[in-house]
């Protein structure tokens, strides 16, 4: 029997469509996956060329798969503060936060970007899991006076160094006044949008959340595409090479229901993602207090992996986790890996027992090319302080993880 390495995916009505589905198809989608029950354009033919265009110009992403959960009503603040592990008394109206939605055992149900649009008005811009049902059940069980729904909102991302120019041409100079992880509302030719200075690239970038998306999506897509032509805009899929370089987690790959926030490195142990000192209770607080007291037994680490190139991650080259070995014994797994053209080497993340998490630890990884040597290193691999999306000066050589040199 012969294995078909590229069997494709059935396109049919029961898989949901992004509001931009038909617009993004016109740019030649080459590969879809399914994310939040929705077709997700992964690339348009050359993921490495898309990576370089993201670094050097500006890119437009159809991320309608980031389904929104809207929470309103008299108890909306208290309910949302119970839903996530950050202290939302520190989140102003008009601000956004990267948050974990945690389960009673401390596992990560989702890692959305939260937008606070009013005192009692929140959007959760979701990763790939069913938070709407979880939130509805939690509110019902606790008798809270909230309305929880999926609004008719379609997000898109505009990422890359020229992104500010595109947004200024669309909305004016006030775009310069939006700080990192803040939002502002605009009206564009009768279309109501919320612009946030956020994104999945760790480059300068924005997300545009379109209200009445089922009516206006194609009009907004065309307006952004037209404004972008003066700035060398191209349509691409979410760039996982850049995501891995930046140490950005992918729910379903690097984190899951069985992963607690203390296991995922990043410095989250230093409390800003899990605020155990806040007065308010949140789901999973007691379990995470216990983890904080007793410690963890495994940790997500950065890896350099030797051997032939491992692809771009979003090209289908990594269809399963790679086993991590200590001699012949499997002790963990690589959760994301790719070849970084700038670092000129394979990089990735691996979940390993704490005894194997020290910097410089030598490991073995079973890749599609065979068993390769690997070394535990620092992550993020480039710009660990996220200076690029903050608009601060960056020296890529000085900020590359573990003293790595940056090519190109």
DSSP state of 37: T
263: left (phi over 0), alpha (psi -120 to 50) or beta: alpha
Contact residues for 375 (Cβ-Cβ < 8 A; gap 6+): 303, 304, 360, 361, 362, 363
Peptide bond into 357 cis (omega under 30): no
Cα distance between residue 345 and residue 310, in whole Å: 9
Would you say 156 and 208 are in contact if contact means Cβ atoms under 8 Å apart? yes
Q: Is 157 helix (H, G, I), strand (E, B) or coil?
A: strand
Q: Are strands 58-62 and 233-235 parallel, antiparallel or unpaired?
A: parallel
**207 labelled as ligand-binding?**
yes
Cα distance between residue 315 and residue 244, in whole Å: 14
Work out the end-to-end distance of the chain between its first and last CA atoms, rounded to an integer number of angstroms.
Answer: 44
Q: Which residue has the tokens 């309608």?
A: 64
Cα distance between residue 315 and residue 42, in whole Å: 8
Cα distance between residue 267 and residue 249, in whole Å: 13
**Which residues make up each annotated binding site?**
207
**Which residues make up each annotated binding site for substrate?**
207
């Amino acid at each position: 029997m012969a294995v078909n390495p590229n069997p494709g995916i059935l396109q049919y009505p029961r898989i949901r469509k992004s509001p931009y589905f038909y617009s993004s198809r016109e740019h030649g989608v080459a590969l879809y996956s399914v994310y939040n029950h929705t077709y997700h354009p992964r690339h348009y033919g050359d993921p490495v060329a898309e990576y370089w265009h993201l670094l050097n110009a500006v890119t437009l992403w159809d991320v309608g798969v980031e389904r929104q959960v809207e929470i309103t009503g008299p108890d909306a603040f208290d309910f949302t503060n119970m839903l996530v592990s950050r202290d939302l008394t520190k989140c102003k109206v008009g601000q956004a936060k990267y948050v974990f939605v945690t389960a009673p055992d401390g596992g990560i149900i989702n890692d959305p970007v939260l937008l606070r649009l009013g005192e009692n008005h929140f959007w959760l811009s979701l990763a790939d899991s069913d938070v709407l049902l979880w939130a509805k059940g939690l509110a019902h069980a606790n008798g809270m006076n909230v309305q929880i729904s999926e609004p008719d909102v379609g997000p898109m991302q505009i990422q890359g160094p020229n992104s500010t120019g595109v947004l200024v041409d669309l909305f004016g100079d006030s775009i310069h006044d939006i700080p990192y992880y803040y939002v502002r509302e605009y009206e564009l030719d009768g279309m109501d949008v919320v612009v946030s200075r956020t994104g999945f690239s760790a480059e300068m970038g924005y997300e545009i959340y379109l209200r009445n998306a089922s009516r206006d999506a194609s009009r907004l897509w065309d307006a952004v595409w037209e404004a972008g032509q003066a700035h060398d805009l191209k349509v691409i899929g979410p760039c996982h090479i850049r995501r891995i370089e930046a140490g950005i987690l992918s729910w379903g790959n690097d984190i899951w229901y069985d992963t607690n926030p203390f296991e995922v490195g990043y410095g989250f142990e230093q409390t800003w993602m899990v605020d155990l000192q806040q007065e308010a209770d949140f789901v999973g607080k007691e379990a995470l207090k216990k983890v904080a007291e007793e410690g963890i037994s495994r940790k997500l680490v950065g890896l350099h992996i030797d051997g032939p190139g491992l692809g771009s991650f979003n090209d289908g080259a990594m269809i399963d986790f790679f086993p991590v070995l200590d001699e012949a014994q499997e002790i963990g797994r690589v959760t994301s890996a790719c070849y970084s053209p700038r670092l000129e080497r394979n990089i990735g993340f691996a979940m390993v027992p704490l005894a194997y998490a020290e910097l410089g630890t030598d490991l073995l990884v079973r890749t599609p090319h065979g068993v390769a040597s690997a070394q535990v290193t620092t992550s993020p691999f480039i710009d660990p302080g996220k200076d690029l999306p903050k608009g601060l000066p960056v020296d890529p050589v000085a900020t590359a993880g573990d003293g790595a040199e940056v090519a190109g």
